[in-house]
Structure 1
Amino acid sequence: MTTVRVWAPEAIQVELECDGSYLPMDRGADGWWSLDTERLVHGSDYAFRVDGNGPFPDPRSAWQPQGVHGPSRWLDHSRFAWNDAGWQAPPLAAAVIQEIHVGTFTPEGRFDGVIDRLDHLVELGITHLELMPVAEFPGARGWGYDGVDLYAPHHAYGGPDGLKRLVDACHRRGIAVLLDVVYNHLGPDGNYLAQFGPYFTDHYQTPWGDAVNLDGPDSNSVRRFFIDNALMWLRDYHIDGLRIDAVHAIVDTSAIHFLEQLATEVQRLEGELGRHLVVIAENDRNDPRVAWPVEAGGYGLDAQWNEDFHHALHALLTGESDGYYADFGRLADLARVLTRGLAYDGRYSRYRRRIHGRPASDLPGRRFIGCLQNHDQIGNRPNGERISHLLSPGLLKIGAALVMTSPFVPMLFQGEEWAAQTPFLYFTDHTDADLGRAVTEGRQREFAAFSRDTDGIPDPQSRETFERSRLNWGERERERHAGILRWYRSLIALRRSHPAFGDDRLDAVEASFDEAGRWLMMRRPGLLVACNLQPAPQRLECPAAADLHTLLQSDAGIVVGPDRLDLPGESVVILEQERSAMPALPTFHVEGVTQ
């Protein structure tokens, strides 16, 4: 017998549709309906009728082989044979993460296609593979942030077994797997949750859809829906950690916030499974309390994406000042992030026109994920330009070096390691013509202020937009790309092997710079990183430079003298301490503040 359950607290009648029959279900406590039946076995299709309406997919469907509008298919997780007994993920403090989109990472666009490229990630030195959302979303292609069947791996990627094969293969090669999940909203297309119960609330709003009911009437079961989803990925799919999308859009006024409950239950599961598990947040508020321990009044998550680090680095290297980049662009901003964790930690933001953030210097670097680019920062540009489209090779190497030598956990986006020239565009595949048209027109309105030629903005609904975003793996063989790949491999190898990177105390990082001269020196215990961001060569004072040993340099013309560093234009050098003391860094006064 199989027991099937569904939560529908306001329903008068719920029926299970299976094998051409409608079977009445019994109402139990707290609005849960259940039925014991022999008809539901692994591979059986089924759906629910609620008060005569439907059929609707199971809100907790683990398998949607016909997409968001089709029936659910019963899944027996015990049938899969795992080969990762004894696996332990590397600690986040020692991680090098690569974020990928399964559909564009390989020509196949499936979980099995990713398996075929794992050797590349191993050779690169990646320790953690982060998947953009894979929960069932409408159509065959999309970013995944409009998912609606949160328990079901996307059918076009290979479904439940495909994801399990990928995780199993990653673990056999020593790579941990992180999964991006969305708990602040669900997409509109194929979203049938409201047919079952009060999953959403109109008390709050999100930019992307109805807010989730986490603190209103009947919210206990809604919270359980999302918490159980998180635990399912970690338990049944052997995922090693979750990245929670836009936690600033999760509104919960309960005494125990949803994120705190999530972190607590993940820690409990960690003890049960005997595996290291992590939870990472995307947090637009610059609020370090997300990563504070629960005992200190925080939510207890392991880390958060450091948007200030990305923005400071991007604006400095590209000179862009549109939107939120208006708050950045100076070396002082980058130096502040490197030494204090955030640039806006209680400072006034011109872009937001208010005080933004909270001090975070009490956190170690391992609590922040730092990157030169990610899916948002590329795909939310009108034409999906990567950082390699915007920078010279010299500046690109400087950016990569600062990410890899920062006190933060480094993250790459797919293809970054070889300066991929394929864009990463925003794409969708809505079958609802009106919704598809609305997405296309919304994209044009969004970028109308940046370009008069809105007709030139790629249509998210076009298959060509998706195809253009696929990685071209053949680029790696061309010298310009091969040179960048060698640089990334060297940086990652240094990051993973040098003992200095084990010390991620922010108060142990020093930074000196000259805004006019466009140079920056960053010192960490045992290491010195010197960057010349201007096109012309320049000499930097560096007392006792002769006592330093060069670990990596981006330009053969770099000269380390007795008391100086001669840096060609747009170059960077990483030096190691050989004796007991590192040279003192020059001190400059910028806007009346000693940096």
Structure 2
Amino acid sequence: MSTTRTQGDVKMGANLVPGGVTFRLWAPSAQNVYVLTGAQLQAAEQSGFQPGPDSAMFSLGDGSWSAYVAGLGEGTPYRFWVKGTGSTGLKRDPRARELGTAPAYPVCDCIIRDVARFPWHDEDFRAPAFNDLILYQLHIGTYYAVDPQGQDKRRTIGKFLDLLDRIEYLSDLGINGVQFMPVQEYPSETSRGYNGLDLYSPEIDYQVEDRQELLRYLNKANGLLAACGKPPLTPDQLSAGQDQLKCVVDLFHLKGIAVLFDLVFNHAGPGFNDQCFKFLDRQQYGDDNRSLYFTDQTWVGGNIFAYWNQDVRQFLIDNVKQCVEEYHIDGVRYDEVTVIDANGGGRFCQDVSSTARAEKPQAIQIAEYWGGDRAAAIRSAPGGLGFDAAWSDKVRLGIRTAVQQAGGGYDASVDMRALLGCLYRPDGFDAAWRAVNMLEDHDVVFAGRDLRMARLADTTDARSWFARSRARLAMGLLMAAPGIPQIFMGQEILEDKQWSDDINFHADLLIWWDGLGVDAVMKDYHSFCRDVIHLRATLRGLRGDSMNAWVTNEQDRVIAIHRWINLVGEDVLFVANLQETNRYGYRVGFPSGGRWREIFNSDFYDGFPNPQVVGNDGSIVVEGGEGWNGMPASAAITLPANGFVVFCR
């Protein structure tokens, strides 16, 4: 098949058009570019290979090359052959929608994919409002995977489709958003995903290749679709890697759960190989400033993108658009935006956030930004980077510090004022939901770093009463605090081990899901998390902007949080006791008098259901004429040790 010149505006990458496929590659310093398919592609790895003129691409005069090949279609393998001033050889398409597995990575082919081949069922899905989000962060390769006999198979790396076994579990948990750690192709055998090299292609190791194994997953998918009243998929509709990821997103949507991708635009690599997009136009090696997409500046072993270059910026922006348009995602977490901003990428941040917002306004743009002026991440251009929300460490540091201090025992000093201060929105944040709060995340509790909450709460015994009660209290504070709460995989079952993506050397750190069946403490904590998450989702006051919090007495270790919605009400009062003893007749201020219902008590989940719960028998009568803690009314209440109670009208 021979190439011919393209007509009109041609999209970058490989795209199906009537009668064939158009190809376009940005390679401004290349001397010649060819697109190889069929017999030429099979021969390209042989010594002395030279592409024929019938595979030549044509310069468009703007630094890019294009060609049309008639007769090509869905599933066709291809690669580019680039002749440059420094070298000549094969290159993968940086915008390839999928990579092949024979030959194996990194000398693999790119696969032409029809973006419309997957039959979506999510037309009625609407993502939650930003202030209603409750997020769950997970790593696909290590999260959950079982074989046909129900045995754990994560030591062979979990797949996209293994998430089908956890969709109903996560729906029952009550979260309404999942944030996948990076799903794009990375060069190493195992990875957290932050060293990607093929940003438009789903990770090969997360895909199911075996046809018989795929049928097992197909049955799972069709069972979930049938339960939602949707038509089944065919084997062909689930055979492509891109469609396996789309199927997962589709089914999460059918269960009312938004999906966020984690995109890494601060660097690529390490693990670069000759056929990747570094030195794509094959200039002379030696100076990474000639590598086309990158500068000579590095971050965590990889190269930082050349944000000064409009074509590089557009490549990254188009990647976000691809995720929104082709994968129907509902938001993006942008990894380490601090690095982007510090390396000349402030304008890029403004462009990518505004473009994504124009593409899908209801898709939340979340920045991981640790600069001195944290609010710069969420301020509008020109003074800020323009993202909707940003990760915040304020709540995490405050609550974890208080829990750690309380671990010193009854007489230990706990800085309650610092705990109080961490609950208020960060400086410069004009709305509570703009801060994404968590107690654990993929960085904090990674192997060799900080302890998971259960172990932090009691370093000697992660199953003790001290550990489980303090962990419940910490989770309660997270759900009561203004902002978007996010939990990390396994946190909801009181997993006490740190985590690692390296299943070869750290298989002992995989989440112990079997504990839900045999460990009463894990089962109880899971019940607690499910109910406190549902509490957050049910009470509008907990999801609004308004908060007034106070420490009744620093030595008593009691803190109260009043949440409400301005001009509406929906008042909620959360009262926590960080001391190891129960408190009876403890006076606390209330926003108004009358009967208040005790709708949640963390002590109920210790030995769930706890037959001897320390609480207020379901309600109290608040004295309207007796102010306390700066509030117009008050009541003497009972507080469980290392616990909290929640009241509403």
Q: Scaled by the length of structure 2, what TM-score is found? A: 0.73
Query: For residues 436-472 of structure 1, what are the alpha-carbon distances to aligned partners after superposition, in whole Å with 9 as ceiling and x for unaligned?
Result: xxxxxxxxxxxxxxxxxxxxxxxxxx6141x334333
Matches of 1:287 and 1:320, distance apart in 2: 29
Matches of 1:519 and 1:289, distance apart in 2: 34
Partner of 1:318: 404
Partner of 1:268: 358
Q: 1:557 aligns with which of 614, 637, 644?
A: 614
Structure label with greater radius of gyration: 2
Partner of 1:235: 325
Q: Is 1:171 aligned with 2:210?
A: no
Matches of 1:312 and 1:177, distance apart in 2: 28
Would the alpha carbon gap of residues 487 and 258 (structure 1) be closer, same or farther in structure 2, given more than 3 Å must change?
same
**Secondary structure, counterpart of 2:597 in structure 1:** strand
Matches of 2:418 and 2:490, distance apart in 1: 27
Q: 2:529 aligns with which of 439, 464, 488?
A: 488
Matches of 2:403 and 2:107, distance apart in 1: 45
Matches of 1:330 and 1:151, distance apart in 2: 47
Partner of 1:281: 367
Matches of 2:550 and 2:98, distance apart in 1: 51
Matches of 1:151 and 1:284, distance apart in 2: 27
**Secondary structure, counterpart of 1:531 in structure 2:** strand
Partner of 1:110: 159
1:205 offset after TM fit, Å? 4.3
Where structure 2 has 5 or more consecutive residues not aligned to the other structure, the ranges are 1-19, 41-50, 147-157, 208-240, 281-290, 408-412, 458-466, 565-570, 604-612, 623-634
Partner of 2:432: 365
Q: 1:27 aligns with which of 43, 54, 59?
A: 59
**Secondary structure, counterpart of 2:310 in structure 1:** helix
1:561 offset after TM fit, Å? 8.4
Matches of 1:258 and 1:393, distance apart in 2: 45
Partner of 1:337: 422
Alignment-mate amino acid for residue 319 of structure 2: N
Would the alpha carbon gap of residues 329 and 221 (structure 1) be closer, same or farther in structure 2, given more than 3 Å must change?
farther
1:226 offset after TM fit, Å? 0.3
Matches of 2:558 and 2:263, distance apart in 1: 39
1:510 offset after TM fit, Å? 2.4
Q: Is 1:122 aligned with 2:171?
A: yes
Would the alpha carbon gap of residues 421 and 26 (structure 1) be closer, same or farther in structure 2, given more than 3 Å must change?
same
Query: For residues 202-235 of structure 1, what are the alpha-carbon distances to aligned partners after superposition, in whole Å with 9 as ceiling and x for unaligned?
Result: 3x443442211001xxx01000110000110010
Q: Is 1:206 aligned with 2:294?
A: no
1:375 offset after TM fit, Å? 1.1
Would the alpha carbon gap of residues 426 and 172 (structure 1) be closer, same or farther in structure 2, given more than 3 Å must change?
closer
Q: Is 1:2 aligned with 2:21?
A: yes
1:33 offset after TM fit, Å? 0.9
1:390 offset after TM fit, Å? 2.5
**Secondary structure, counterpart of 1:78 in structure 2:** coil
Would the alpha carbon gap of residues 5 and 551 (structure 1) be closer, same or farther in structure 2, given more than 3 Å must change?
same
Matches of 2:638 and 2:91, distance apart in 1: 68
Would the alpha carbon gap of residues 69 and 186 (structure 1) be closer, same or farther in structure 2, given more than 3 Å must change?
farther
Matches of 1:329 and 1:249, distance apart in 2: 35
Q: Any conservation in 2 of the 1:234–1:240 contact (CA below 8 Å)? A: yes
Partner of 1:581: none
Matches of 1:153 and 1:481, distance apart in 2: 34
Q: 1:80 aligns with which of 109, 114, 118?
A: 118
CA RMSD of aligned residues (A): 2.5
Matches of 1:19 and 1:331, distance apart in 2: 69
Would the alpha carbon gap of residues 514 and 376 (structure 1) be closer, same or farther in structure 2, given more than 3 Å must change?
farther
Q: Any conservation in 2 of the 1:18–1:39 contact (CA below 8 Å)? A: no
**Secondary structure, counterpart of 1:318 in structure 2:** helix
Matches of 1:520 and 1:135, distance apart in 2: 44
**Secondary structure, counterpart of 1:529 in structure 2:** strand
Matches of 2:471 and 2:575, distance apart in 1: 15
Would the alpha carbon gap of residues 68 and 252 (structure 1) be closer, same or farther in structure 2, given more than 3 Å must change?
farther
Q: Any conservation in 1 of the 2:197–2:272 contact (CA below 8 Å)? A: yes
Q: Any conservation in 2 of the 1:386–1:424 contact (CA below 8 Å)? A: no
Q: Any conservation in 2 of the 1:68–1:148 contact (CA below 8 Å)? A: no
Matches of 1:81 and 1:57, distance apart in 2: 28
Matches of 1:254 and 1:418, distance apart in 2: 42
1:389 offset after TM fit, Å? 2.6
Q: Is 1:91 aligned with 2:176?
A: no
Alignment-mate amino acid for residue 553 of structure 1: N
Would the alpha carbon gap of residues 58 and 238 (structure 1) be closer, same or farther in structure 2, given more than 3 Å must change?
same
Q: Any conservation in 1 of the 2:341–2:349 contact (CA below 8 Å)? A: no
Would the alpha carbon gap of residues 511 and 122 (structure 1) be closer, same or farther in structure 2, given more than 3 Å must change?
same
**Secondary structure, counterpart of 1:551 in structure 2:** strand
Partner of 1:290: 377
Q: Any conservation in 2 of the 1:106–1:470 contact (CA below 8 Å)? A: no
Where structure 1 has 5 or more consecutive residues not aligned to the other structure, the ranges are 322-327, 343-358, 428-461, 579-595
Query: For residues 164-194 of structure 1, what are the alpha-carbon distances to aligned partners after superposition, in whole Å with 9 as ceiling and x for unaligned?
Result: 1101111111111001110000112145222
Partner of 2:264: 182
Q: Any conservation in 2 of the 1:280–1:305 contact (CA below 8 Å)? A: yes
Partner of 2:540: 499
Would the alpha carbon gap of residues 29 and 494 (structure 1) be closer, same or farther in structure 2, given more than 3 Å must change?
same
Q: Is 1:143 aligned with 2:189?
A: no
Query: For residues 105-156 of structure 1, what are the alpha-carbon distances to aligned partners after superposition, in whole Å with 9 as ceiling and x for unaligned?
Result: 1125111110121111111111111100010012442110111101001111
**Secondary structure, counterpart of 1:117 in structure 2:** helix
Q: 2:638 aligns with which of 549, 566, 574?
A: 566
Matches of 2:61 and 2:554, distance apart in 1: 66
1:422 offset after TM fit, Å? 4.8
Query: For residues 248-282 of structure 1, what are the alpha-carbon distances to aligned partners after superposition, in whole Å with 9 as ceiling and x for unaligned?
Result: 000377797111111211122126xxxx2111111
Q: How high is the sequence identity, in percent, across the aligned residues?
A: 26
Number of equivalent positions? 506
Q: 1:374 aligns with which of 422, 441, 446?
A: 441
Partner of 2:560: 521
**Secondary structure, counterpart of 2:443 in structure 1:** helix
Alignment-mate amino acid for residue 292 of structure 2: P
Q: Is 1:257 aligned with 2:347?
A: yes
Would the alpha carbon gap of residues 70 and 319 (structure 1) be closer, same or farther in structure 2, given more than 3 Å must change?
farther
Matches of 2:88 and 2:415, distance apart in 1: 59
Q: Any conservation in 2 of the 1:50–1:195 contact (CA below 8 Å)? A: no
Which one is further off, 115-124 or 558-567?
A: 558-567
Matches of 2:448 and 2:552, distance apart in 1: 30
Would the alpha carbon gap of residues 304 and 178 (structure 1) be closer, same or farther in structure 2, given more than 3 Å must change?
same
Would the alpha carbon gap of residues 364 and 34 (structure 1) be closer, same or farther in structure 2, given more than 3 Å must change?
same
